[in-house]
Structure 1
Amino acid sequence: MPGSAVVELVGAGFAYEDGPPVLSGVDFAVPEGRALAVLGRNGSGKTTLLRLLSGGLRCGSGRLRVDGRDVAYDRKGLTRLRTTVQLVVQDPDDQLFAASVGQDVSFGPMNLGLPEDEVRARVRDALEALDIAALEDRPTHLLSYGQRKRAAIAGAVAMRPRVLILDEPTAGLDPHGQERLLAALDGLRAAGTTVVMATHDVDLALRWADDAAVLTPDGPRTGPVAELLADAGLLDAARLRRPWAMSVARLLRARGLLGEGEPAPCTPEELDAWAAARGVRG
């Protein structure tokens, strides 16, 4: 994958207490400026990988590096890591704890000892980036599930990390909520944030990501997302299904309806629009 690595695991291994190894000998780099989807079935080690990258778990073997330097797990080293990499967990209720949205989003910057004006600016920018500025004074327990998801992400964004890692961010959201969240993530990417998303949704990964890391029993395979998701053997090894969009593209090309270099529809809505624009009838 192109781009220099912001954060990387080198020969990393990890096992939970009294359990078998979850990851072993893993080399894994997050390149700057790319949207990366981490794909794997439930139990494949996605969440463990993300927590190792963010410092929430410490490698049992191997090491974690930021900008080519090993991370020291002392106060200075972890502060450096957490101002570079932020993880947002799958369930927002595991992350939100303050009385109001604004208080929750301000927690991280305040802990960095930043001046009050800087904290306020970071909170405002983060809320605007996630399209929830109107919710700043809203009690967190009165938020909808989708609003809680975006508030949790805003708390991480307020730390102004170079890498934002999201564990199953669209899980539990309705289609409208998913689209709003993806639009917010597109805005963060445009502003220079490298975004990593763990998911088992191959269709989401195909339409959203530049690159993918597919977790298999033999370790992660990384590369351009379209290339990896076209590898039937790899998907079988990872126990992932084929992307819907690739099946549609293959069918349309076989019938001469889609040129070889022409981008294919990635969602049913895009397929309907594509068909309507060409007068294609079902």
Structure 2
Amino acid sequence: MNEPARESVGEPALVALRGAFFAYEEGPPVFSGLDFGIREGRALALLGRNGSGKTTLMRLLSGGLRPGDGRLTVEGRPVTYDRKGLTRLRTTVQLVVQDPDDQLFAASVAQDVSFGPLNLGLPDDEVRARVDEALTALDIAALADRPTHLLSYGQRKRTAIAGAVAMRPRVLVLDEPTAGLDPDGQERLLTTLDGLRTAGTTVVMATHDVDLALRWADDVALLTASGAHTGPAAVMLARTDLLARAGLRLPWGVAVTRLLREQGLLDDTAAGPGTPEELAALFPYTPVERPG
């Protein structure tokens, strides 16, 4: 039985699947009776083992797939899968796939980023404004005229995200956005995503990295064979039962926090460290001077 998407009183889901069923042709059901919601203004991490349905769920939310039963809603209104309904959905939700090469096709960065706004039939000056805004937000304005085939992997990732941002969606859904990036590239991308969130974009990230989810997300959705289990990140990522069913390990920060509390080194009400750097800040090293 699926747990319903968590919605506090007065905080309905902006985008939601209700009672959704989906199966690929001649395959077993991926979802049956799925309830899942995205709350506006919350950073949501989507986690689960390979084959748990993360990519399918993201494509259902963005309109790339259609549920065989149930419904997709935006602000409580059912989505229609005609041209008008899908245009409305795609100006609300944008999906960026894991491999940027599956998304980039234009000759230059600016041309690629302009594709979505042009398809909306916007005037040229509005398209240029959106492209400039998206390139600046992703810190790739200097690459506007660069041929896409000459971009590094990290630059291609940013260009793919910029193409989605240029649509000015309320929800940006990212499939493994940090995969393939070195640590510096990951941190730069997370800083960029924080900037988008500050500007009002709700960000959903699919990831296998429980440590990243713990320090980045407000909410976490764990996909198991019984459905989607959603709640506050710190609570969900301490649920060893659900983590095991989702094929995930306990986050480093949760394990360390438990150990510190067991040893009386951290108050029960204090926030635990999410990274080694935060642990070092809690217990700064003081060299011991040895006599003579």
Band the TM-score falls in, shorter-chain normalisation: over 0.9
* 1:175 counterpart residue number: 183
Match of 1:62 among 65, 70, 74: 70
Q: 2:48 maps to what in 1?
A: 40
Q: How does 1:28-177 map to 2 (within 5 A)?
A: 28-177=36-185
How many residue pairs are counted as aligned between the two chains? 280
Task: Determine if the alignment matches structure 1 residue 4 to structure 2 residue 12.
Answer: yes
Shift of 1:257: 2.6
Alpha-carbon deviations, 1:237-256, whole Å to 9, x = none? 11110001111111222233
1:23 paired residue number: 31
1:217-232 aligned at under 5 Å gives the runs 217-232=225-240
Q: TM-score, normalised by structure 1?
A: 0.96
C-alpha separation in 1, matches of 2:98 and 2:244: 25
SS in 1 for 2:278: helix
Q: What letter is aligned with 1:251?
A: L
Equivalent position amino acid for 1:145 in 2:
Y
- The structural deviation recorded for 1:270 is 2.9
Could you tell me how far apart the structure 1 residues matched to 2:223 and 2:257 are? 25
User: How far 1:280 moved relative to its partner?
Assistant: 8.7
% identical equivalent positions: 74
Gaps of 5+ in 2: 1-5
Q: Distance in 1 between matches of 2:20 and 2:37?
A: 11
In the alignment, does 2:270 pair up with 1:239?
Answer: no
Write the distance in 1 (CA, Å) between the matches of 2:136 and 2:260.
40
CA separation of 1:280/1:125 partners in 2, compared to 1, >3 Å: closer, same or farther? farther
Rounded to whole Å, the distance in 2 between the matches of 1:196 and 1:275 is 33
> Partner residue of 2:213?
205
Distance in 2, matches of 1:212 and 1:10, equals 18
Give the stretch that moved more between structures: 267-276 or 172-181: 267-276
1:160-185 Cα shifts (integer Å, max 9, x gaps): 00000001111111111100000000
Give the structure-2-normalised TM-score.
0.93
Q: Whole-Å Cα distance in 1 between the matches of residues 41 and 12 of structure 2? A: 9
Cα offset, 1:5, TM superposition: 1.3
CA RMSD of aligned residues (A): 1.4
Deviation of residue 85 (structure 1)? 0.4
Counterparts in 2 of 1:280 and 1:150: CA distance versus 1, 3 Å: farther
Higher Cα radius of gyration: 2
Give a deviation string over 1:88-125, Cα, whole Å, max 9, x none. 00000000101111100000001101111111110111
Long gaps (5+) in structure 1: none
How far 1:131 sits from its partner (Å)? 1.0
Query: Structure 1 residue aligned with 2:198, among 190, 194, 206?
Result: 190
Structure 1 pair 279–142 and aligned structure 2 pair: CA distance change class (3 A)? same
Letter in 1 for 2:261: R
CA shift digits 1:161-213 (9 cap, x unpaired)? 00000011111111111000000000000011011111111111110000111
Distance 2:204 2:170 in 1: 11
1:5 aligned counterpart, secondary structure: coil
How far 1:6 sits from its partner (Å)? 1.2
Give the C-alpha shift of residue 268 in structure 1.
2.3
Deviation at 1:18, TM superposition (A): 1.2
Following TM superposition, the consecutive aligned residue runs of length 4 or more in structure 1 with deviations greater than 4 angstroms are none
- Give 1:214's aligned residue: 222
- Structure 1 SS opposite 2:14: strand
Please state whether the residue corresponding to 2:168 is helix, strand or coil: coil
Mapped partners of 2:266, 2:187: distance in 1: 26
Matched AA of 1:197: M
